[in-house]
Amino acid sequence: MRSWSHTERGGPIESLRERKRERSRAATVEAAWRLFIERGYDQVTVQDICVAADIAPRTFHRYFPSKDDVVAEPMRRMTALALEGIAAAPDGTPDAATLHRALLAVGSFVVEHRELLTGLRTVVLQSSHLRANPPSVRPDQEARLVTQLAARGDRDPAGWRLRLLVACAVAGFRVWYEDYLHEAPPDPLAHLDAVLHTAVDPHTG
Amino acid sequence: MRSWSHTERGGPIESLRERKRERSRAATVEAAWRLFIERGYDQVTVQDICVAADIAPRTFHRYFPSKDDVVAEPMRRMTALALEGIAAAPDGTPDAATLHRALLAVGSFVVEHRELLTGLRTVVLQSSHLRANPPSVRPDQEARLVTQLAARGDRDPAGWRLRLLVACAVAGFRVWYEDYLHEAPPDPLAHLDAVLHTAVDPHTG
DNA sequence: GGGAATGTGGCACAATCTGCCACGAGGCAG
DNA sequence: CTGCCTCGTGGCAGATTGTGCCACATTCCC
């Protein structure tokens, strides 16, 4: 099962600094998630997380600009996976198909981590603040998907067709994501495939 | 030109209380926008806004759960317009066409208020906090669109097709919105129509 | 080994946002 | 018109988040 902590770079060539940093960051994330699930988002302060993860609040805010970002961490991970999926697609594949496949891979990642993600979903639903500001794919992350997609071939990253394609794909994935965590259908990836078929495939060509 | 202050309810039957409240709220919004555009979001405190609008900070947070919500106000207004557009559509119209037309109406509203909206766009772009948490259509607002659409006819508001349709429509609108505020094309509404055609129309039937 | 680069912690501080209570203006019935 | 009730408002105290600044420790690299 793919893990949460990952180094964004392929090789295992990490300096001691980076390893320490990643370990500390991962510990922080896991401590935060555990506390959130136990007590609820609003009942856990940054201070609490720092005590559990054994770091200073000042350091916490170096890892995460805001407390919300800890909850949004899975989104970042999923976007990173999608980027990898796009980069790995063979040249010549239409953009829509590339995105479709990349998001299917993200979907299988979600399925692998269903338990944790449903836990975090409950955390979001139970916090009035998170309900109003739910974790989502940030515009800069979406822009990265566009850029990555445009990098294959000579497409214009600023063109509205490409941006629309990505926006619809992300929207479709989100619709499936909500369905899946709410009531896991028997064959979730087939469901995702169907949703993406409607959302993404019309943009082919 | 349609105004920003509106009472959500059709009739002019407002009590003095409601009128006062709306006036105070509108004054707050306009004061805040003016200050944001003048100095930048991060350089304006809630205190500053309250002085300019002549209300207490405590009252400010009764109108707006957070400072961010003042910037997101146009989004709320646009969603409200879309809801009205959907409600006004004649029965029997396919959902996709209904949404398409409703969003065209919202588009013309955006065109009417271009100056202000570009100002607020600049505000967003210049604030690191707003860049990370840009004003967007909140999930509850999107859910309202779904509900409203489902209310015509007997569709299932929880079905993924309807939710996907709305999500893609909103995504398409956002893509156009960014284009339009960045570099107004000669015929913006035609552009919006084209984008929506790609994003929404495939979902017909 | 030693300087440079970088991550960390502590401190002080501004700012956001909330709960609580009291006051006053608007609404309503008599 | 009068009294009562409802509800918006303001003030206050407080918790919490998030940031700038600086000193210290660790790691890196020569």
Does the pLDDT value for residue B3 go beyond 70?
no
Structure tokens at A121: 């979903």
Does the pLDDT value for residue B101 go beyond 60?
yes
pLDDT at B49: 98
Residue A44: alpha-carbon gap to chain centroid: 23
Task: Say yes or no for a CB contact (<8 Å) between B198 and A202.
Answer: yes
Question: Which among B101, B185, B76, B104 has a CA at the least distance from the CA of A160?
Answer: B185
pLDDT at B50: 98
B48-93 tens-digit pLDDT: 999 999 999 999 999 999 999 999 999 999 999 999 999 999 988 9
The answer to whether the C-beta of B197 is closer than 7 A to strand D is no
pLDDT at A158: 83
The answer to whether the C-beta of A15 is closer than 7 A to strand D is yes
pLDDT at B156: 86
The answer to whether the C-beta of B133 is closer than 7 A to strand D is no
pLDDT at A128: 95
pLDDT at B176: 98
Q: What percent of chain B has pLDDT over 70?
A: 94
Residues 44-63 of B with CB under 7 A from strand D: 54-59, 62-63
Number of H-type helices and E-type strands within chain A: 11, 0
The answer to whether the C-beta of B6 is closer than 7 A to strand D is no
Task: Say yes or no for a CB contact (<8 Å) between A170 and B174.
Answer: no
Question: What distance in Å separates the CA atoms of residue B110 and residue B113, rounded to the nearest whole number?
Answer: 5
Give the mean pLDDT of B106-112. Answer: 98
pLDDT at B5: 63
Question: What distance in Å separates the CA atoms of residue B83 and residue B148, rounded to the nearest whole number?
Answer: 7
Residue A168: alpha-carbon gap to chain centroid: 16
pLDDT at B205: 64
Does the pLDDT value for residue B10 go beyond 70?
no
Output the distance from A184 CA to D15 C1' rounded to whole Å: 39
Task: Say yes or no for a CB contact (<8 Å) between B160 and A174.
Answer: no
Task: Say yes or no for a CB contact (<8 Å) between A167 and B164.
Answer: no
- Average pLDDT per block of 10 residues along chain A, 205 residues long: 59 76 96 98 98 97 97 97 96 94 98 97 97 96 96 86 97 98 94 96 78
Average pLDDT, whole number, for chain B? 93
A195 in contact with B at a CB cutoff of 8 Å? yes
What pTM, to 2 d.p., does this model score?
A: 0.92
pLDDT at A184: 86
Residue B195: alpha-carbon gap to chain centroid: 18
